[in-house]
Amino acid sequence: MTATTDGNAGGPVPLAPAAGTGRRHRATVPHDLEEAAARATERATTHLLALQAPDGWWKGDLETNVTMDAEDLLLRQFLGRLDPGTAAAAARHIRAGQHEDGAWPTFYGGPGDLSATVEAYVALRLAGDPPDAPHMARAAAWARTRGGIAGCRVFTRIWLALFGWWRWEDLPELPPELIYLPRWFPLNIYDFGCWARQTIVPLTVVSAKRPVRPAPFPLDELHTDPADPAPPRPLAPLTGWDGLFQRLDKALRVYHRFAPRGLRRAAMNSAARWIVERQENDGCWGGIQPPAVYSVIALHLLGYDLDHPVMRAGLESLDRFAVWTDGPDGPVRMVEACQSPVWDTCLATVALADAGLPADHPALVKAVDWMLDEEITRPGDWAVRRPGLPPGGWAFEFHNDNYPDIDDTAEVILALRRVRHPDPARVGGAAARGARWTLGMQSRNGAWGAFDADNTSALPNKLPFCDFGEVVDPPSADVTAHVVEMLAHEGLAADPRTRRGVDWLLAAQEPHGAWFGRWGVNHVYGTGSVLPALTAAGLPPSHPAIRRAVAWLGTVQNEDGGWGEDLRSYADPAWAGRGTSTASQTAWALIALLAAGERESEPVRRGVAWLAGTQREDGSWDEPYFTGTGFPWDFSINYHLYRQVFPLTALGRYVHGEPSPGGSP
């Protein structure tokens, strides 16, 4: 595969290869592949064990894009807490991600993104970078050619409105009275996915209050026409949802001027109670940065001073999202959007077990101890749709008891069952509760979403306010596959609910043979999730769906022996399975092929050779590409531990064989 420079990106962009082509040359398979794979497995095991925390968990950095860093500085400026050291360290990280043409992308090697560029520019201005500095002038010029501030998404313009750089009147309305909509009514807050729900509730307060802090500098250079920064947008025809919601927004603008004061005040107080009730023990909200940021702003606007225990805990939790490193010019500060210790720990446990570590190894026992302590035993927002379901399961983060997720729960149970723990009754009880909760979260169509059951309304995505990423949580192939695989290993392969999940997966297969990956990039991830589930559930490798998937993986293998898929596959189907080879995506393809009985096939041998040949001396792999997904195309993630746990899983299964359903140690 060759690389070029995209005029929109200003950085290296991998070209989509034709089927069967890859990076520069066709790799050769060494004669001693078995030995090479065993050595690579041993080195990777040693490296991963060294990364375990003393308490038993693993956590890799979760890298997203510079909007996290920019919005963190904007929050501190809004609250009057921005200090020069933090601003300078964040600015070093932000500058490092700028492309030569002046823009910032949202993922490595991706095209420039207007909203990310505008937010990065403003953050650097807050850090003291002058507008006439060459890198700043390039950024402003690039932004103007793409429409300037007026062309940015709503969330970016909200941040700018906080300082008077954009008018609140030119933003979609989001009334706090939304909190009163009953659960059966369209567009009630539980129609939104949990991440959107936690963000929208505090933003209703911000939208009603419309605060403006004095702007520390003008931003005329980011407007295409400073004299007319917000030209009116034409109304869409009433025949479609866009036109209907545009007119609803106009009606809500009128309502904003005449809303009964008592009702509005009561709605904002109800929103505040909703927010405070969902603050986690560590001070955060939902374990993710955006809801925490907006919750802090909303509560501050409602009179919570910065020394209030709720506010103090919230601000301290945001500090914990910062990753500090040493750079050549001084400290560098990157802000994580989220932290993934439960996810990383269960994946690391499975990888080490697959690599042949003894089932009672102290590192695995310690990991299970930590995961057991993280079990969630009280109801959360999921109980709105499943009020009679007993709690159970696990979340993604250190603290997020309100929002356990189905994906983590399935993978944690798979990990628990791979370890010989000194208290098997405790492990069995936690696994049984998690499996019961997961079965209860099955959606009506037989599949599973990530956080809620039947969170499938089409209306939230139509709102003018929701112009960035997914705001609902419908079932997906990757989550459903992980659940089916877990249920099969729990001895429930023949359960009618498991069979409904299998039927849904078979119906969801794409025409080319792959499955769409909602939470990982993309069809390689989906296929790597589904094939192990289908075979664990009893489908033979000869099943037509499995053969189509195997054939597809063969057609998209790169010449170098690896697999890769660029994030552009979410926006352009021609990119499905196409991209520079990466360690995690190569591992996903191998996991799928090994589950399908393809161990001796040429694609597997070449893929294993690629992993063994690209491993670094310390047992790790290099992977700058983003292979995790927050919102397809809109928000991408580089999980820094993916490059370690998935290759080790694939190599371990190649060397030691597949785990068998029900095969508890």
Amino acid at 458: A
How far is residue 620's CA from residue 46's CA, in Å, rounded to a whole number?
A: 10
* Torsion sign (Cα): 134, 139, 142, 148: negative
Tell me the residue length of the chain. 665
Residue 92 tokens read as: 């070093």
Q: Give the three-state DSSP class for 217.
A: coil
Q: What is the DSSP string of 539-580?
A: --TTSHHHHHHHHHHHHH--TTS-----GGGGT-GGGTT-SS
Among 403, 121, 114, 139, smallest CA distance to 284 is for 403
Backbone phi and psi for residue 431, each to the nearest 5 degrees, phi listed first: -65, -40
Cβ-contact 109, 12 below 8 angstroms: yes
Among 551, 480, 546, smallest CA distance to 519 is for 480
**What is the DSSP secondary structure assignment for residue 638, as one 8-state letter?**
E
Q: Give the three-state DSSP class for 67.
A: helix
Distances (CA, A) of 416 to 357, 379, 428, 488: 14, 22, 9, 14
Cβ-contact 116, 99 below 8 angstroms: no
CB contact set of 329 (below 8 Å; sequence gap of 6+): 92
Q: Which residues of 247-279 are buried (b: 16+ CB within 10 A; e: fewer)?
A: ebbeebeeebeebeeeebeebbeebbebbeebb
Q: What is the DSSP string of 132-175?
A: TSHHHHHHHHHHHHTTGGGGS-HHHHHHHHTTTSS-GGGS----
Instruction: Decide if 407 is catalytic.
Output: yes
Distances (CA, A) of 406 to 440, 450, 478, 479: 10, 5, 11, 7
Amino acid at 189: I
Cβ-contact 586, 563 below 8 angstroms: yes
**Of 191, 407, 408, 634, catalytic:** 407
CA dihedral 96→64→145→152, nearest 10 degrees, is -140
Backbone phi and psi for residue 358, each to the nearest 5 degrees, phi listed first: -55, 140
Cβ-contact 296, 306 below 8 angstroms: no
Sheet holding 628-631, edge to edge: 62-63, 635-639, 628-631
Cβ-contact 564, 628 below 8 angstroms: no
Q: Give the number of other Cβ atoms within 10 Å of residue 526's Cβ.
A: 29
Among 75, 54, 98, 155, smallest CA distance to 635 is for 155
CA dihedral 290→295→300→305, nearest 10 degrees, is -100
CB contact set of 564 (below 8 Å; sequence gap of 6+): 14, 524, 558, 578, 579, 580, 581, 582, 585, 586, 625
Catalytic residues: 407
